[in-house]
Amino acid sequence: MNDDQEKAKNYNPKKYRTPDGIPADIVMFTLTKQERRSSTKSLPLFELKVMLIRRRSWPFAGAYALPGGFSQENESLYETASRELQEETGVDGGHLEYLGVYSTPGRDPRGWIISHAFYALVEEWVLEKRKAADDAQAVGLFTIQEALEELELAFDHREIIKDAYRRIQEQMLQTTIAKQFLPPHFTLSELYQVIRTVVPDFEELNFIRKVTSTRSRQGILEEVVDENGKRLVSNQYSQRPAQLYRFTDFTPRLSIYT
Amino acid sequence: MNDDQEKAKNYNPKKYRTPDGIPADIVMFTLTKQERRSSTKSLPLFELKVMLIRRRSWPFAGAYALPGGFSQENESLYETASRELQEETGVDGGHLEYLGVYSTPGRDPRGWIISHAFYALVEEWVLEKRKAADDAQAVGLFTIQEALEELELAFDHREIIKDAYRRIQEQMLQTTIAKQFLPPHFTLSELYQVIRTVVPDFEELNFIRKVTSTRSRQGILEEVVDENGKRLVSNQYSQRPAQLYRFTDFTPRLSIYT
DNA sequence: GTAATAGTGTCTGTTAGACACTATTCT
DNA sequence: AGAATAGTGTCTAACAGACACTATTAC
């Protein structure tokens, strides 16, 4: 037995009251695409949705809650969230990010339970599959407005969803997470629509020109070309083919002063 | 006994292994000012420092650690941090913000201990007072370089300090936290020096002009005037008096796309 | 006068914002 | 031709970046 182990044996961590559990809850966002009926090709309608599960048991039986689960001793909280995400959706990988801690006394009637919120960006089909596999009654995809204004939510999950929404809006403008909602190659209209869906009051009349022809932002996006250097285009959503782009791994440094 | 209480009685939260403690650790930053010897008035030298405490007992006896303490059942983690900050410095108020959670298994030899990091911006005299009140040997103010490269640090506190440093640099450019390091009224040189101290590679040759005469940033700062509308100036750090400014409560929205 | 910081002039090239206009393809 | 999205032209005012220059005051 080494020195540390010996000392650890003498140290009694349960001298004080300790929490009753440390769950990780995940705000899973997805962007649903809905075909628009029209005579010709057109961009689909996007909607930002969040996955919620109807609780069956006490506390908050019948209310909707974020998917999540308790952390175990042998894993970090990120691993807990990652494991839960995998258990809930069958997918690992994808964008998973820490949001914050929720520890207001009394937030959970089961005891002293400190929850950690994460948010994930998941493809629509993943959540649809999950919904099909499970009791369809229990799993739902809701718009932010529905979740915040119409549903009865468990615990402090309304606060968590609000915070996650604020965060994803900020991230959508300040980082390149938009790529999580886009195929590897995409047109600028698709990108613009994705941004607009998450941040409705983002309006840029000259969006195409701005992201392509200004030097200061040069490097966020690049044109996709084939092996012969020919620029690749897509006409999936339009009559006239549009140039395809991809994100580079460059992210500019933002500042309020300059 | 109401329904919830009855159910809570039947619910056994200790069915599973639970953590041994949830501390909050605080990265306390301060900006030290050092007079420069010169024949005339000049700006002081600023340095960004972090407060660390030398541990006396197991584990990591002799190593430096962030100040902090365990959370109690009747308080949120922000309250824990706020209480610790008050206990450590005698000051409440000031800037205190959540940084993140540190939960890697094995990070604390005392057991399963999940720590939450906060960072605080504190005035220099507060920490000096703290240092005087206590055993001066135990409390130290160190530059980031000293803390990260020269000191033996307890737990995963090197990681925490790194993360806090990254965060304060980001915040310094994207929010108006610079005001935490400045008096209510300040000159633009002071502001520039504060920013430069925290983010050394922030270089703006036309800083004064940029923050004063460009419309898009209009509203971050405003000139300070007296009751007669006369503009207030200071010659504390210069021969020629300089216009005093204050922050408004406006913060622009930043975006990589526009 | 000299030192030290405050602030302006000036120049070129780039960008923002508004909005009209052309381009490409499918039906 | 009409629909739908892609993308350019054009104009003005604002801004960025570089760097030389003047201004104010204390010593």
Mutate to test the interface with A, among B82, B101, B102 (most CBs of A within 10 A): B101
Q: With contact defined as beta carbons under 8 Å apart, do A152 and A63 qualify?
A: yes
In angstroms, what separates the C-alpha of A196 from chain B's closest C-alpha? 12
pLDDT for B186-202, tens place per residue?
A: 999 999 999 999 999 99
Contact B71/A173, CB-based, under 8 Å?
A: no
- The pLDDT confidence band at residue B228, using thresholds 50, 70 and 90, is confident
Least confident range from A1-10, A80-89, A186-195, B142-151: namely A1-10
> Does nucleic acid strand C have an atom less than 7 angstroms from the CB of B224?
no
Residue A14 pLDDT = 56
Residue in A101, A111, A202 closest to B13 by CB:
A111
> Does nucleic acid strand C have an atom less than 7 angstroms from the CB of A219?
no
A-chain residue closest to B110, CA distance: A8
Residue A1 pLDDT = 46
Residue B1 pLDDT = 46
pLDDT for A32-79, tens place per residue?
A: 988 776 656 677 889 999 999 999 988 999 999 999 999 999 999 999
B-chain residue closest to A192, CA distance: B257
Mean pLDDT of all residues belonging to chain B: 88
Nearest one of B19, B153, B69 to A77, comparing CA atoms = B19
Q: With contact defined as beta carbons under 8 Å apart, do B204 and B210 qualify?
A: yes
> Does nucleic acid strand C have an atom less than 7 angstroms from the CB of B242?
yes
Please say if the pLDDT value at position B4 is more than 90.
Answer: no
A-chain residue closest to B106, CA distance: A74
> Does nucleic acid strand D have an atom less than 7 angstroms from the CB of A210?
no
The tokens for B194 are 């504060």
Looking at beta carbons, which residues of chain A come within 8 Å of B175?
256
- The pLDDT confidence band at residue B216, using thresholds 50, 70 and 90, is low
Looking at beta carbons, which residues of chain A come within 8 Å of B214?
none
Helix axes A124-133, A77-89, angle to 10 degrees: 70
The tokens for A114 are 């400190």
Bases of strand C lying below 7 A from some protein CB: 3-9, 14-19, 23-27
Contact A255/B174, CB-based, under 8 Å?
A: yes
Task: Give the separation between CA B146 and CA B152, rounded to whole angstroms.
Answer: 10
Mean pLDDT of B45-70: 93
pLDDT for B67-85, tens place per residue?
A: 999 999 999 999 999 999 9
Distances (CA, A) of B239 to A32, A199, B40, B43, B230: 63, 49, 8, 11, 20
Contact A257/B7, CB-based, under 8 Å?
A: no
Please say if the pLDDT value at position A2 is more than 60.
Answer: no
Q: What are phi and psi of A213, to 5 degrees?
A: -115, 20
Least confident range from A232-236, B60-64, B106-110: namely A232-236
pLDDT for B9-24, tens place per residue?
A: 556 655 678 899 999 9
- The string of DSSP letters for A200-258 reads TT---TTHHHHHHH-GGGTTSEEE-B-TTSPBPEE-SS-SS-EE-EEE-S--PPP-S--
Please say if the pLDDT value at position A151 is more than 70.
Answer: yes
CA(A240)–C1'(C22) in Å? 13
Task: Give the separation between CA B177 and CA B197, rounded to whole angstroms.
Answer: 13
Mean pLDDT of B35-42: 68
CA(B110)–C1'(C18) in Å? 64
Please say if the pLDDT value at position B136 is more than 70.
Answer: no
Q: Hey, is B96 helix, strand or coil? A: strand
CA(A34)–C1'(D4) in Å? 17
Bases of strand D lying below 7 A from some protein CB: 2-9, 14-19, 23-27
CA(B194)–C1'(C7) in Å? 20
- The pLDDT confidence band at residue A12, using thresholds 50, 70 and 90, is low
Task: Give the separation between CA B201 and CA B208, rounded to whole angstroms.
Answer: 17
Task: Give the separation between CA A227 and CA A223, rounded to whole angstroms.
Answer: 13
Mean pLDDT of B151-156: 95
Nearest one of B27, B62, B70 to B159, comparing CA atoms = B27
- State the number of CA atoms in the 13 A half-sphere of B120 facing the CB: 29
Which nucleotide lies at the shortest CA–C1' distance from B239?
Answer: D25
- The pLDDT confidence band at residue A124, using thresholds 50, 70 and 90, is confident
Residue A40 vs residue A166, higher pLDDT: A166
Residue A137 vs residue B167, higher pLDDT: B167
